[in-house]
């Protein structure tokens, strides 16, 4: 039976039909927005959920709409259940936004792969970049938290080039020079650089023990201002 | 020698003969029952073994017979030994049943992959759905336990659609809205939804410290009644 | 460069030359002994090293000679170093022996894959069976220890069939009916059964805290006697 | 969408274009130095960072220049950030050096794969050997630390052959006969031996609790002297 199944699979592959098994991350397209040289902004769950919160505020501010979902067999094996009892798999979501200044692809997610599955992290960050490059992105912004106890709400920046680090320092960020940026926040930017793309990482200091709305708001506000969109405090 | 072996394998593949290595889950067919639009019911080891117990009772109640075994290299590396000293690999088993109201494919198993091997969980749930879809199933029911201490024997329901959640609520279940359903109980349903199938998950509250026959019986009895088969207490 | 490397690899594969990377277990043949329907006997490191000790005694008793080595990228990442400072990779070794009663392939090893890498266990037991089947083996004997504190030196047996369990019980072994045999000792036999081969597992009770020469000797002596080779105590 | 993506990938592969996903280690070539039968010297992070320190001193002493970088999806998922805020992925680096006595390829790195990912260790050591063999290396030297508390600064040697062990013993090293050399320091040498290459491993005793510059210097100095390059203390 094993043989037959394998030969069946091979045959299917050759004639161009594939099994429905989810063996790799895959994308489900919901709609096809018009995007012109969009900037990619990523904020995933992590330290103090700073990146996820900042990106959530940005989707609201820009009126962004989800257009692609990414599923992966490296995500945890659960379903989330809504208050009405409806279940769905964990996923990443890509939103599109057209603002006066820029078009954006904004990405967030329910979860990340297990911290010790580094191959999955490389794979998912790579899939993400493959996708956004096909959409025309060449500038990558990742948002996250960094576990630091600080009195003043700083925003830190790391970049793919000295010119960019300088540019965002002039806009008010502090150069991040503490050694490492762990997880997807760092890895997506590192892989982007390897592909010849440019980009920055903005980090909000947080104690990281709970969801840090203040740090998320600071990062969001700084980014919007740096890109020319003033955020009013009353948002 | 490595080269020769690899080329030998490649040659075998090209001429359509494959190695006997078990590198993927595979199915062993024991018999070919006649099944008309069967409903798929899954109950695997888990919290309080509620799902496995419920499914065991269902196989007895319906006179179900095993017809397919599923083996996987992601299962633990042991053999179980019977009281007569006969060993066999751990496996999942699919039973068929023809009742007055419905045909069923009922699945249970000795074990599950290691909790941290999420790829294996996605693969096995996917293989399971591939198989039952080929048998004509389009409705999926997963049974499991949920770690809650409750006085009254409730049965909780989560579903792939609001209509289904409502339908089973009207039959006496309580909407499950606690956030997540972990493991194969949730994942099979989530993957089924992704394929466009419909289904529900029924959960029996249990402390989870030991096999909970009471919770298993409640889930089994509720399911049978909901599908139109009254279970008498004296079973 | 990545592309070029991959295309280079693909090209090599097509023209029949492969990279020297060790991505799979592979066999190195040292000599080609003449073997007629050999019996396969396996004893790997494990509880009290009972299996490995029993097999070591058997190679000495039968004058067995190593003829094949198996290397695997799932073995731990170390080299062992001899007293003269010479290093080598960990490996399994297959010995051949021609006795009056039977021909044997006897297998032992330096190590096993990590306990949590179940795929590697399935793969290596499968590779082992692939190899010994090609050598004409159809009877499989695995030797190991079982963590039990007993006064009398029993040997336990589990088998692929009731007939075999009975046969070795009549020769003095006790039926093993304690539930499970973990690791390669159980898995090789379970996979052999799945392929339609026959065989037994012999287990020596041991506390398992240190190498148990007594248990190893008991298992070895029982096996030799059962196969018609009386072992004198003075070995 | 999954299907389309996979078919798209397959199509790309057939026409010779590949995805930009990093699914395997890959090499980025920076320059093409002229090297004649170079000796390969490896020193990676490990016990007391002895190997990495020794190799660092050697690159300075020989005026070595980086010419190839190796990236891998098995490396940890972080980027390192410079004092100017510039990020990059962790990597191995290969340096070339032409000295009066010998040409060298010297390799070091930021990190190693997770200790429990043995497949990645085998893969990376194999990729490393593939690469240096293509550059004409047939002699392999690995440098590392060994957790021993000793009064005198010994250097230990293990080798692929008795002749080599003897040769370096005569040059002042002590034969290492403590059983095992773990990690890339041992594995690269073991895999080299499997390919028919020759080489040695030099180990500096260290308590391993912190970076041990003394042990690193001893190993470096011994190696340089053994290869005919006297190091003055004032380096």
pLDDT (tens digit, 9 = 90+) per residue, C81-116?
999 999 999 999 999 999 999 999 999 999 999 888
CB contact under 8 A, D114 and A119: no
> Which chains are adjacent to chain B, needing at least 3 Cβ pairs under 8 Å?
A, C
Q: Which residues of C touch B73 (CB under 8 A)?
A: 118-119, 122-123
pLDDT band at D209 (very low <50, low <70, confident <90, very high): confident
CB contact under 8 A, C78 and D16: no
- Phi/psi for B178 (5° steps) reads -100, 10
Best to test chain D binding among A44, A67, A115, A158 (most D CBs inside 10 Å): A158
pLDDT of amino acid B148: 85
ipTM, two decimals: 0.83
Give how far Cα C175 sits from Cα of B82, B87, C156, Å: 10, 11, 6
| D167/D177 Cα distance (integer angstroms) | 16
CB of B225 less than 8 A from some CB of A = no
CB contact under 8 A, C175 and B85: yes
B58 and B64 in contact (C-beta within 8 Å)? yes
Give how far Cα D178 sits from Cα of B144, C82, D59, D151, D175, Å: 52, 8, 30, 18, 9
Burial of C29 (0-12, 13-18, 19+ CB in 10 A): exposed
Measuring CA to CA, which residue among C185, C179, C180, C174 is closest to residue C150? C174
Q: Per the structure block, which two tokens stand in for D156?
A: 């230990």
Per-residue pLDDT of chain A in tens (235 residues, 90 and over written 9) = 233 334 334 433 333 334 466 778 889 999 999 999 999 999 999 999 999 999 999 999 999 999 999 999 999 999 999 999 999 999 999 999 999 999 999 999 999 998 888 999 999 999 999 999 999 999 999 999 998 887 677 999 999 999 999 999 999 999 998 789 999 999 999 999 999 999 999 999 998 778 999 999 999 999 999 998 877 655 4
Best to test chain C binding among D32, D44, D117, D118 (most C CBs inside 10 Å): D118
Query: Tokens 């609001």 appear where?
Result: B162
Q: For all residues of chain B together, what is the average pLDDT? A: 88
């Amino acid at each position: 039976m094993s043989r037959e199944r394998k030969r069946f699979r091979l045959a299917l592959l050759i004639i161009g039909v594939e099994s429905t098994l989810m063996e790799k991350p895959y994308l489900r397209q919901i709609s096809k927005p018009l995007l012109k040289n969009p900037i990619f902004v990523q904020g995933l769950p992590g330290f103090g959920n700073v990146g996820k919160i900042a990106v959530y505020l940005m989707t609201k501010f820009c009126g962004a709409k989800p257009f692609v979902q990414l599923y992966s067999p490296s995500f945890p094996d659960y379903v989330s259940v809504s208050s009405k009892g409806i279940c769905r798999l964990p996923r990443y979501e890509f939103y599109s936004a057209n603002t006066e200044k820029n078009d954006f692809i904004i990405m967030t997610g329910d979860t990340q792969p297990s911290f010790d599955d580094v191959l999955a992290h490389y794979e998912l960050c790579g899939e993400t970049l493959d996708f956004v490059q096909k959409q025309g992105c060449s500038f990558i912004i990742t948002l996250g938290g960094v576990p630091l106890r600080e009195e003043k709400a700083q925003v830190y920046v790391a970049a793919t080039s000295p010119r960019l680090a300088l540019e965002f320092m002039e806009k008010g960020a502090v150069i991040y020079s503490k050694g490492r940026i762990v997880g997807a926040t760092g890895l997506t930017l590192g892989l982007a650089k390897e592909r010849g793309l440019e980009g920055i990482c903005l980090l909000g200091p947080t104690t990281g023990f709970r969801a840090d709305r203040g740090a998320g708001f600071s990062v969001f506000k700084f980014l919007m201002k740096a890109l020319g969109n003033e955020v009013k405090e009353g948002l």
